[in-house]
């Protein structure tokens, strides 16, 4: 159970050097400056950025810093010498950091690597500020079942899910007709397929509205991100695929819309700034007083909404199909996408190859829809198998990669 927000709240930040982790740290610094002792940071973690992790640990006055890459421990220790901040390294050290007692865990590791530490925090019944959407996409049933069993509160950080959470404040009840997530459309929303075929890494990561880490930026460019978010929303709010929709909204100011059975539609709005949902989950159930960016609607003038073009963004259609079919498909899709996005970011796959690889991998697992309730061991085995299949598909990919840079 969460401590009332007006009391000291102890926090752990998993993925403290990333985009969400840094915004979380900045908000905690700002809150502690206006209200000393509001947040106490128990532990911060990273993969291999020892310098960034040491900086975050020092400025947050964290008690512990854990780094996954054991080779980076020496540098981390050196940079934290004399501070009294304890250190540890290795994958197990990240789990141990998640297991340390704290009221709230910000789960902001990118990818399936974030699943185990997030589950560790869920198991001890902590409140989880869940940024890592891959947890729910790959293992949604197991993750939510564990949260119900331990009493852990899941506070969605993704702006669209945070919007739905703010409107509903709980799972969807029978009065919810539909939930629509908005999508900016990403950097290629006006590009034709010929141009997208030659898209560079830099262009794919240049999101028009949001500054984010590399993986989610590419996911936003393919619209896979929105597809993953549909699956995430289905688990978070117990919604069916028929209830979930997507609309392109270029301004990214309306984050989600809920239509109730009586035809009334509630929308949640706010600046396109991840600090807003992060501030919400940090202080929940209270509201954080901080220098939030203000919206001037008269200056903005108009908001636009349009249907997504599935022919240019097949990744969204794939994710919708996986959501519909359930079973192991979301796990396969998530794993294939992680491998394909990494290959794109390493210059081994052209932009359009990301969705192609995902489709090829999904087609290679024709009988995965049987069970909606794969256990964690089965999910992890399937994840590995799908990653292997994705690597083979990339190796066999005939598309020339000279287009990439
Ligand atoms: P970043 O890539 O910016 O940061 C990822 C963080 O996770 C870094 O601290 C990184 O450490 C750490 N990390 C990466 N891999 C591992 C690993 N194998 N083991 C342990 N730690 C690891 O990601 P974002 O902040 O953009 O995204 C984090 C999550 O939040 C993603 O799941 C994303 O989809 C979701 N999200 C992000 C949003 C955003 O605005 N950025 C919006 C909504 C959701 P190091 O620095 O050492 O590499």
Distance 396 CA to ligand 1 centre (A): 29
The reported pTM is 0.95
Atom 48 of ligand 1: nearest residue by CA position = 47
* Helix 224-237 with 214-222: angle, nearest 10 deg: 100
The pLDDT score that the predictor gives to residue 399 is 53
The pLDDT score that the predictor gives to residue 400 is 45
The pLDDT score that the predictor gives to residue 374 is 86
The pLDDT score that the predictor gives to residue 369 is 67
The pLDDT score that the predictor gives to residue 8 is 79
Domains in the chain, CATH or no CATH each: 9-132 (3.40.50.720), 164-269+305-395 (1.10.1740.10)
Burial class (CB in 10 A: 0-12, 13-18, 19+), 332: buried
Burial class (CB in 10 A: 0-12, 13-18, 19+), 301: exposed
Q: Is the CB of 109 under 6 A from ligand 1?
A: yes
Per-residue pLDDT of the chain (405 residues; tens, 9 = 90+): 555 555 779 999 999 999 999 999 999 999 999 999 999 999 999 999 999 999 999 999 999 999 999 999 999 999 999 999 999 999 999 999 999 999 999 999 999 999 999 999 999 999 999 999 999 999 999 999 999 999 999 999 999 999 999 999 777 789 999 999 999 999 999 999 999 999 999 999 998 888 899 999 999 999 999 999 999 999 999 999 999 999 999 999 999 999 999 999 999 999 999 999 999 999 999 999 999 999 999 999 999 999 999 999 999 999 999 999 999 999 999 999 999 999 999 999 999 999 999 999 999 987 776 666 789 999 999 999 999 999 999 999 855 443 433
Q: Is the CB of 338 under 6 A from ligand 1?
A: no
The strand pair at 9-14 and 39-46 is best described as parallel
Mutate to test the pocket of ligand 1, among 62, 108, 120 (most ligand atoms within 8 A of CB): 108
d(CA 37, CA 363): 53
The pLDDT score that the predictor gives to residue 131 is 98
Ligand 1 atom nearest to 159, measured from its CA: 43
Q: Is the CB of 94 under 6 A from ligand 1?
A: yes
CA distances in angstroms from 118 to 196, 228, 337, 382, listed in the order given: 35, 18, 20, 19
Q: Is the CB of 274 under 6 A from ligand 1?
A: yes
Ligand 1 atom nearest to 17, measured from its CA: 9
d(CA 120, CA 95): 6
């Amino acid at each position: 159970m969460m401590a009332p927000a007006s009391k000291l709240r102890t926090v752990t930040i998993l993925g403290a050097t990333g985009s969400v982790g840094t915004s979380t740290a900045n908000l905690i610094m700002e809150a502690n400056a206006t209200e000393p002792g509001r947040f106490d940071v128990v532990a911060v973690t990273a993969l291999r950025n020892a310098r960034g992790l040491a900086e975050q640990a020092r400025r947050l006055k964290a008690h512990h810093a854990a780094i996954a890459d054991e080779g980076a421990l020496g540098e981390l220790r050196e940079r934290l010498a004399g501070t009294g901040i304890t250190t540890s390294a290795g994958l197990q050290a990240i789990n141990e950091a998640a297991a340390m007692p704290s009221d709230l865990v910000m789960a902001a590791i990118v990818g399936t690597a974030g699943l185990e530490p997030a589950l560790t925090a869920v198991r001890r019944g902590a409140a989880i500020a869940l940024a890592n959407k891959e947890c729910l996409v790959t293992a949604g049933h197991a993750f939510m079942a564990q949260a119900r069993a331990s009493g852990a509160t899941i506070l969605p950080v993704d702006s669209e899910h945070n919007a739905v959470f703010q409107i509903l404040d709980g799972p969807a009840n029978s009065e919810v007709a539909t939930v629509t997530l908005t999508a900016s459309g990403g950097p290629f929303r006006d590009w034709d397929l010929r141009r997208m075929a030659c898209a560079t890494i830099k262009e794919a990561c240049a999101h028009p509205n949001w500054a984010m880490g590399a993986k989610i930026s590419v996911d936003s460019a393919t619209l896979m991100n929105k597809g993953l978010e549909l699956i995430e929303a289905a688990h978070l709010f117990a919604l069916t695929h028929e209830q979930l929709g997507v609309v392109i909204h270029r301004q990214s100011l309306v984050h989600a819309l809920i239509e109730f059975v009586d035809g009334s539609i509630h929308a949640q709005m706010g600046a396109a700034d991840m600090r807003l949902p992060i501030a919400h989950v940090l202080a929940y159930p209270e509201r954080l007083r901080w220098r939030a960016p203000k919206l001037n609607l008269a200056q903005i003038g108009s908001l636009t909404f349009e249907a997504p073009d599935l022919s240019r963004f097949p990744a969204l259609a794939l994710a919708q199909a996986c959501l519909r079919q359930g079973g192991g498909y979301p796990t396969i899709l998530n794993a294939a996408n992680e491998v394909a996005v990494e290959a794109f970011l390493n210059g081994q796959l052209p932009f359009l190859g990301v969705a192609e690889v995902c489709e090829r991998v999904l087609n290679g697992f024709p009988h995965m829809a049987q069970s909606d309730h794969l256990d964690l061991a089965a999910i992890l085995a399937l994840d590995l198998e799908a990653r292997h299949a994705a690597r083979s598909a990339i190796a066999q990919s005939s598309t020339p990669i000279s287009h990439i840079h």
